[in-house]
Amino acid sequence: MKKTLSLVLSLVMMLCCIPVLPGAAALDATPSDAPSGELKFSPDGKFRIMMFADSQDNEDLEETTDRLMCEALDKYKPDLVVYLGDNTVADGYDNQYKAIEAVTKPVRDRGIPYSIVFGNHDQEHDVTKEDLLKIYQDLGGCLTYDADPSIYGCGNCNLPIKSSDGSKTAFNLWFIDSGSQNTDEGASGYDYVHPDQIEWYKKTAKALAEENGGKVVPAMDFQHIVIPEIYDKIHVKLPFSLGKLSIQNAGNSYSLLPIFTSLNGYWLEHPCPPNVYDGQLDAWVETGDVIAEFHGHDHTNTYRVNIDGVDIINVPTVGCNSYSKDIDRGVGLITLDENDTSTYEYELLNIYDFALANDSKICEAEGGKSKAYYALCKILDSAIQVFFSITSAL
């Protein structure tokens, strides 16, 4: 279910907030089947990852999306950019090429390496994911590769981050194709991470640990669609269905509204995970490497919750070509520190903060709003955060 009734959304707007948590070196990558060169912590021990989710645009990239990307990149200068799926929706190969060229141009122009995962919409326009991946690679700067073409999906891979002195792998990044639609016989809903993908992950994580003297290499996972356990965490499981007053997922019934005190961030639509428990979370817990998972897919959600020791973070849309709300539209920023890779800093960088800066071009861009509008978004967001903090403490 991709859109919540307006009445429910109005209620949620008064009960949720956006998380703003405490707040390099670029890689010269060349197109290939696997990445050339290496990612590396900077001399000060930091590594920054910026995330763009659900731009979902065609060959005529919406101007405010372009400006938001450019201004975020120029201000924070990340070491890596991750596109979290549903990146382009243009029709046919030529238009897809132009769309990918446009959405990656802000990153490529700045010489920043990037990686991508596919969403449920990328391949719906008469171009296969394999051909789309080749476009990204041919344009340059893309580190995504197909680590094992024999397993489900396209672009399943990992990218190690070396320590600042280059002596070891200090951190690891997983990129998983979470698919589109579930095509299993008699099934429905969104796709899921398949058993062969999970086995590839476990085997690769084991090899990384062996190379690291038997110690697990801490990691993060990036994919488009959230894991199904999200409902068990942020909604009340019901003993029976209440029809339209409940939500059905993976054979269970859940409360229509979430448990607001379990959220750190906005919930403006029901999460849309697969309808099956695929075992991915169990594999993370068993392996012990993944400290956080980042996904897009649900454009207006920004929650951050912990499930069995793994942080699950919804990065909202960077674009406005599909449905979005400027109160939480923005980009995600991760800061890693090699001195303590058991944790990280995450911040949601809102479009209104960029638009209100003196040198911003967002307001003047086609589709941009006035500074008064973005100021109102910021005031409303701040008020909701205070309200949520009070209610959470009750």
Q: What is the 3-state secondary structure (H, E, C) of 3-41?
A: CCCHHHHHHHHCCCCCCECCCCCCCCCCCCCCCCCCEEC
Categorize the per-residue pLDDT at 394 as very low, low, confident or very high, splitting at 50, 70 and 90.
low
Map out the domains of the chain with their CATH numbers.
Answer: 6-393 (3.60.21.10)
Q: Which residue has the tokens 């094992």?
A: 148
Q: Which residues, 6 or more positions from 376, have their beta carbon under 8 angstroms from its beta carbon? A: none
Categorize the per-residue pLDDT at 219 as very low, low, confident or very high, splitting at 50, 70 and 90.
very high
Residue of 291, 34, 341, 293 lying closest to 168 (CA atoms)? 341
Could you give the CA distance from residue 153 to residue 148 in angstroms, rounded to a whole number?
Answer: 10
Burial class (CB in 10 A: 0-12, 13-18, 19+), 371: middle
| 194 pLDDT more than 70 | yes
Q: What is the pLDDT of residue 262?
A: 87
Q: What is the pLDDT of residue 5?
A: 37
pTM: 0.90
pLDDT mean over 98-105: 97
Q: What is the pLDDT of residue 36?
A: 56
Q: Is residue 374 within 8 Å of 381, Cβ to Cβ?
A: no
| 32 pLDDT more than 80 | no
Could you give the CA distance from residue 281 to residue 232 in angstroms, rounded to a whole number?
Answer: 13
Residue of 251, 271, 266 lying closest to 178 (CA atoms)? 271
Could you give the CA distance from residue 385 to residue 365 in angstroms, rounded to a whole number?
Answer: 29
Q: What is the pLDDT of residue 18?
A: 36
Could you give the CA distance from residue 244 to residue 265 in angstroms, rounded to a whole number?
Answer: 25
Q: What is the pLDDT of residue 260?
A: 85
pLDDT mean over 200-223: 98
Q: What is the pLDDT of residue 185?
A: 82
Q: Is residue 107 within 8 Å of 118, Cβ to Cβ?
A: no
Question: What is the residue-averaged pLDDT of the chain?
Answer: 89
Categorize the per-residue pLDDT at 9 as very low, low, confident or very high, splitting at 50, 70 and 90.
very low
DSSP 179-234: -SB--STT--SB----HHHHHHHHHHHHHHHHHTTTPPPPEEEE-SSPPTTHHHHH
Could you give the CA distance from residue 58 to residue 360 in angstroms, rounded to a whole number?
Answer: 24
For 237-255, the pLDDT digits (tens) are 999 999 999 999 999 999 9
Token pair for residue 347?
């911040």
Residue 143's Cβ-side half-sphere holds a number of Cα atoms within 13 Å equal to 27
Categorize the per-residue pLDDT at 134 as very low, low, confident or very high, splitting at 50, 70 and 90.
very high
Q: What is the pLDDT of residue 266?
A: 86
